[in-house]
Structure 1
Amino acid sequence: MADTIGAAAVEVLLTADPAEKARLSRHNAARWCAGELAAVYDAAMPDRPARPPHPELLPPSRMPKRGRAGSERSRIALLHALAHIEFNAIDLAWDAAGRFGGAMPRAFTDDWVAVADDEARHFGLLADRLSELGAGYGDLPAHDGLWEAAMATADDLLARLAVVPQVLEARGLDVTPATESRLRAAGDDLSADILNVIYHDEIVHVSIGNRWFRHVCDELRIEPVQTFQSLVGSRFKGALKRPFNDSARIEAGLTPAFYDSLASA
């Protein structure tokens, strides 16, 4: 059993089974909060986390198109895609804590361990809902874009904080309210309620990313908005897509000055 936060992060990252990864994430988060893990960053984070045999990972361009949540099949595809995001997000949060926490205040690790706990809880909610619909995580293909973003920012904390919470997670703030509404219109309030929980937690996660991004910029005496735009331009593949949920982004500290000029037409 891991006895340091570095070893605990690696333990989660190298667990392939989805249910066990989520369970271990929550267990190690509780151990950190209880003071059972030493604040020692003594383990190198793996280049890639362990992955189960399924889902099959495809390039984003080869992913099948999903419907708009009107049919049960399209709802399963939607929930599966969200479960895959949350599964990857468990690893992203532990990697952030284990890879960068040693050079940061303890509160940085506290925050990312809390995020890892949330992501594991989200995955469990979605996996359980898929089961209720007669499906399971791994039944459909998925893409590897989230971990590709982690690999592209593994050498630079500011780049990681710019791209993962403030671009990728912030995108969830833009699209989730409309998706929740479509689920409710289709009569699937159980799935919609899960998305509502995730949405409000993700505002907190984006705010954590923005707060630590500003903290590092302040420490380095560099301007946050220009630094964010430069890092997104150099480290993020693709363009930021409108429309933006400005109110949720502002609640998270991510004001339009950061992202509006980067958006595609």
Structure 2
Amino acid sequence: MNTLFSTAYQCLQLNDPTEKVRAVRQLSAQWHTEQLSLTEDSSALMVSLAGQPTSLKLVHPRDVPKRRVQTAQGQIALLHAIAHIEFNAINLALDAVYRFRQLPKAFYTDWIRVAVEEAYHYELLETELNKRCCHYGDLPAHLGLWEMAVETANDVLERMALVPRVMEARGLDATPYIMQRLQQAGSAELVAILQIILQDEIGHVAIGTRWFHYLCAERGLAPTETFLTLLKKHFTGKLHRPFNLEARLTAGFTVEELNLLEQL
């Protein structure tokens, strides 16, 4: 019987997006039919860079194409940027499965589910890119999300605090504004896709919150204080307001946390 960890690692290393999406779905099917064991056949290797299209050029965030949704090229740039986020989110979920050991079975079930849903999001966006004669990897992108994964690779509590509850939660805040701009530009089909992604991402942040609280309880830590300490330690970007308070509350943030984030 193959192990979950070795299978997740193989998925993580795949460069071709179509192959990775297919492999993620196969991994999920094998997991849910109990074809993968939780045996630790080896310790987790550091993955400094997960598999991604060989054509993808990585640049500094300031050098990515402008995303003005009023123009056709701007919409392509926007779709490519979001597809890049979703593709990286597949890798992030796979890395959580591969990297962190001796956790409850439900942890792996949750993050496999996230990987499958991120793969679906990626496919929706790639389809829209293809309609516009573009493919993921045709435009440059940056690695902000994956860099945080590398920084939190040694501690599952830090990973749960900072990737779903900071990096992905920023998407909850930004997506409604992007949807509004696309609606004004007459791109109802893209708004519908972002609505699907937004609803699923609330669930992903909620999964991160649930496991963050679980790990805090296991270690005897106060969740709010721990979250803010880790945020100040690791996150050097800006927290852009306004926050999507309804989405964040649904995803498990407390009113106290949101008040403290507003102060930051």
TM category (shorter chain) comes to over 0.9
Confirm or deny: 8 A CA contact 1:41 1:98 kept in the other structure: no
Q: In the TM superposition, what whole-angstrom CA distance separates every residue of 1:190-233 from its partner, at most 9, and x where no partner exists?
A: 21111111000000000000011001111111100000000111
Instruction: Find the aligned partners of 1:145 and 1:256 in 2 and give their Cα distance.
Output: 28
Q: In the TM superposition, what whole-angstrom CA distance separates every residue of 1:66-103 from its partner, at most 9, and x where no partner exists?
A: 21x11211111111000000111111001101111x22
Measured after TM superposition, the shift of residue 152 of structure 1 is: 0.5
Measured after TM superposition, the shift of residue 237 of structure 1 is: 2.3
Change (3 A) 1:29 1:226: same
Determine the structure 2 residue equivalent to 1:76: 76
TM-score (norm 1): 0.94
Kindly report which structure 2 residues correspond to 1:130-141, keeping only aligned pairs within 5 A, or say none.
130-141=129-140
Determine the structure 2 residue equivalent to 1:161: 160
Confirm or deny: 8 A CA contact 1:239 1:264 kept in the other structure: no
Determine the structure 2 residue equivalent to 1:107: 106
Moved more, 235-244 or 196-205: 235-244
Instruction: Find the aligned partners of 2:259 and 2:97 in 1 and give their Cα distance.
Output: 29
Determine the structure 2 residue equivalent to 1:65: 66
Instruction: Find the aligned partners of 2:56 and 2:118 in 1 and give their Cα distance.
Output: 18
Confirm or deny: 8 A CA contact 2:3 2:36 kept in the other structure: yes
Determine the structure 1 residue equivalent to 2:248: 249
Confirm or deny: 8 A CA contact 2:66 2:77 kept in the other structure: no
State whether structure 2 residue 231 is matched by structure 1 residue 232. Answer: yes
Measured after TM superposition, the shift of residue 64 of structure 1 is: 3.2
SS of 2:54's partner is coil
Determine the structure 2 residue equivalent to 1:117: 116
Aligned letter for 1:61? R
Change (3 A) 1:221 1:52: same
Instruction: Find the aligned partners of 1:150 and 1:238 in 2 and give their Cα distance.
Output: 15
The size of the alignment, in residue pairs, is 262
Instruction: Find the aligned partners of 2:214 and 2:158 in 1 and give their Cα distance.
Output: 13
Measured after TM superposition, the shift of residue 50 of structure 1 is: 2.2
Aligned letter for 1:247? E
Determine the structure 2 residue equivalent to 1:215: 214
Change (3 A) 1:259 1:230: farther
Instruction: Find the aligned partners of 1:106 and 1:188 in 2 and give their Cα distance.
Output: 41
Determine the structure 2 residue equivalent to 1:25: 24
Instruction: Find the aligned partners of 1:259 and 1:148 in 2 and give their Cα distance.
Output: 25
Measured after TM superposition, the shift of residue 119 of structure 1 is: 0.6
Measured after TM superposition, the shift of residue 259 of structure 1 is: 4.6
Instruction: Find the aligned partners of 1:259 and 1:8 in 2 and give their Cα distance.
Output: 38
> What do you get for the CA RMSD once the two structures are aligned?
1.6
Structure 2: which 5+ runs fail to align? none
Instruction: Find the aligned partners of 1:47 and 1:40 in 2 and give their Cα distance.
Output: 24
Aligned letter for 1:97? V
SS of 1:147's partner is helix
> Alignment identity in percent?
45
Moved more, 201-210 or 124-133: 124-133
Measured after TM superposition, the shift of residue 263 of structure 1 is: 4.8
Instruction: Find the aligned partners of 2:130 and 2:9 in 1 and give their Cα distance.
Output: 28
Determine the structure 2 residue equivalent to 1:51: 52
Aligned letter for 1:229? L
